[in-house]
Chain A
């Protein structure tokens, strides 16, 4: 869809929806005194149906899904009960806010709409089953009343958890002091003329009281942790509509089976992964499911089935999206990878490695971008999002038998098990899930390859980076231990002094005024009272990771440069991204200078290509900000504009090169990019 057409549709829908939502509110008000009135219900349903159709036409999939759920809730009940009315009003408020966001920002607030939908379904299910399965093949269950979770103020809960951790930390220090005092008093009491043994006994009593207090606090901590968790059933229930919607849009048939709805997951984590699961479900239907004819030809009788699974694995939860569709054509994958220079013509890879190519940035075996799972978001985006949660996206597929995608995420975002490491005077918290092994550097064989220290770990050469150097610390002595960490496909050994201990800690966001503190995922309040930065391993790895398959004999692989393309035009962004990805660059896109600065703050950007006229922060401001910032001042930049008179201004603001859009020549752009990357922007 052309961008201007899409924008026009959004504008039209924003106006239409504002009026529709007013009428829906009136209809809800009219239903209150007479919830069984068939005319009122029919009227409400018609309005919701119109709102849904409009949303889908304007490309607002998440908003359409939300309205669809509202419509279903009204359709499937003989009378709209009070609980449903309240849930509908609450969802309507979310829709109205969504429309305001669209009017203001010109794009759908997808996450907010998905969250509102899950809240809506959760509110309905908290009173018992409202929506009944339409056929027997669906195995989704609804929450039983005793398991129901009402609206809980998550921020207050997290605040409570943090205060408990702080109290535990103070109590732990007090306990240490008291134990030392007790040991001293016992020594003194044994000496002639020492302190009264009764005083010694009183200290001992205090110590046992303290132990009781510690036990109570531990129980309170476990209770507060449990309160943040809820069954994933609500999350999985929400995916059913996405599945059905995908079937409808692709005109395919199929069934959905869900397992593991009882597994508990942190509410905030559920919000983070909902979008990923929606994408995987749509992707499975769009790419995996065969048509009826194709299925009949291959001897598969029944319509394709999608299975969503969830299993608790210790401190992590594993999600699986498995279809019994056509599977991935490895020959096609290899062919496409070679066409895109992701693989040389001579290079041989295993089946598993070939499958992982599908997760690489910009990879697609479909020539056309479909409305359903296209729009520039591929499995690489899902992989990146999973890796940002210190997880790993796994893929398995057999031609003709189906594909399985799975990933693990921590149960909770608020508290996590961390390794406390020390480098110089600074303590860091490293997520335990990403820590693979710790070993002393005294016995390790360190070799410098390509200017980088490397160590051998399980037969592979892994880059070793001093944690102090990564965070700009000056340490008086060299690192003495290596902590091997793994994020997605990459491994990196972090040089530290020591690993002090393992702790369950409450992680808080850095917050104001440091929203963009690089390489820090949050702050951990440790038991001894120390506040330590939590290493953002996905960012740290991006700055210096090595693919897992780099073998001992190999030299380090050639670095893949990461280029940031900044343009508010979808067409231009797509064009530049395709050109760059085609020759093997990794590309990150931003719609304006403000978003670009956020990407820059995350690190790992080697070159910036920017437009001039953009909302919020334009290209000139972006360049000026880059040149004034110590971390970005050396990143080369190219300005691509439609204005020929901008050249001098662009160069003065810090661009190394200026390209005119109407004279766009991809070879020239690629030559310039290669030259600037090779010379480091000189």
Chain B
């Protein structure tokens, strides 16, 4: 028996069993229920495999997000040390697990100074090319999940270049493209 023949027989058998002693309405209800469950399992699978976990944080008046897989830690702002002659977006460094890590203050790209230190000020430490950097932020909003389909592409932003943005999430959160952002900071440094 060919595979197609086997499948056809399975469908006919299913239809026969479904109709056994049932009214048209009952058969219709069973079919609808099967369709619903089938669709639900597809959605479930999509949720499990494609959901992105994001860390959202506030820089100036903006909410930015990075993928949680790129995030190493979120730490309170401790002692920061100045780096003379460094560009303003990266002019301090802090010790993270015994290693000096450059603090990136995206505020300077907006033309602002760094935020005043408060109890909520945090550094979001992320993998950055071959090393690490800590994004200075006013506070961390939280960790959330989103479907890739919910990320709306955009090529407009007041201070981020198009390739530094992966898109905009519901609620106006800008999802960063760290490779693109690295290139933008390279240009800002040179």
Q: Footprint of B on A, CB under 8 Å?
A: 159, 162-167, 425-426, 471-473, 508, 510-514, 516-520, 523, 525, 529-533, 597, 625, 629
Residue from A167, A471, A525 in contact with B100 in the complex, judged by beta carbons closer than 8 Å: A525
> Are A597 and B190 neighbours in the complex by a CB distance under 8 Å?
yes
State in angstroms the CA–CA spacing of A510 and B185 once bound together: 15
Q: How many residues of B contact A (CB 8 A)?
A: 29
> Are B85 and A525 neighbours in the complex by a CB distance under 8 Å?
no
State in angstroms the CA–CA spacing of A510 and B90 once bound together: 11
Residue from B98, B104, B185, B189 in contact with A166 in the complex, judged by beta carbons closer than 8 Å: B98
A512 and B129 in contact (CB under 8 A), knowing A426-B82, A472-B85? yes
Residue from A165, A510, A520, A530 in contact with B98 in the complex, judged by beta carbons closer than 8 Å: A165
> Are B86 and A514 neighbours in the complex by a CB distance under 8 Å?
yes
> Are B182 and A513 neighbours in the complex by a CB distance under 8 Å?
yes
B97: A residues at CB distance < 8 A: 163, 166
B61 on interface, CB distance cutoff 8 Å? no
Interface contacts beyond A512-B128, A512-B132, A513-B129: sample of 5 additional A-B pairs, CB < 8 Å, sorted by A: A166-B95, A425-B82, A472-B85, A513-B185, A520-B83
A629 and B190 in contact (CB under 8 A), knowing A513-B102, A514-B83, A530-B81? yes
State how many angstroms separate the Cβ of B38 from the closest Cβ of chain A: 48
B185: A residues at CB distance < 8 A: 513
30 contacts between A and B (CB under 8 A): A162-B99, A163-B97, A163-B98, A163-B99, A165-B98, A426-B82, A471-B85, A472-B84, A472-B85, A473-B84, A508-B100, A511-B102, A512-B130, A512-B131, A512-B133, A512-B182, A513-B128, A513-B186, A514-B83, A514-B87, A514-B90, A514-B189, A516-B189, A517-B85, A520-B84, A520-B85, A523-B100, A529-B95, A533-B83, A533-B84
> Are A513 and B90 neighbours in the complex by a CB distance under 8 Å?
yes
> Are A518 and B98 neighbours in the complex by a CB distance under 8 Å?
no
State in angstroms the CA–CA spacing of A164 and B86 once bound together: 27
> Are A508 and B99 neighbours in the complex by a CB distance under 8 Å?
yes
A597: B residues at CB distance < 8 A: 190
B93 on interface, CB distance cutoff 8 Å? yes
State in angstroms the CA–CA spacing of A512 and B128 once bound together: 7
Q: Of residues 116 to 142 in B, which have CB atoms within 8 Å of A's CB atoms?
A: 128-133
B22 on interface, CB distance cutoff 8 Å? no
State in angstroms the CA–CA spacing of A511 and B185 once bound together: 13
> Are A532 and B81 neighbours in the complex by a CB distance under 8 Å?
yes
State in angstroms the CA–CA spacing of A530 and B94 once bound together: 9
A166: B residues at CB distance < 8 A: 95, 97-99
> Are A517 and B86 neighbours in the complex by a CB distance under 8 Å?
yes
State how many angstroms separate the Cβ of A474 from the closest Cβ of chain B: 11
State in angstroms the CA–CA spacing of A124 and B182 once bound together: 42
B156 on interface, CB distance cutoff 8 Å? no
A512 and B102 in contact (CB under 8 A), knowing A525-B95, A531-B93? yes
Q: Of residues 132 to 190 in B, which have CB atoms within 8 Å of A's CB atoms?
A: 132-133, 182, 185-186, 189-190
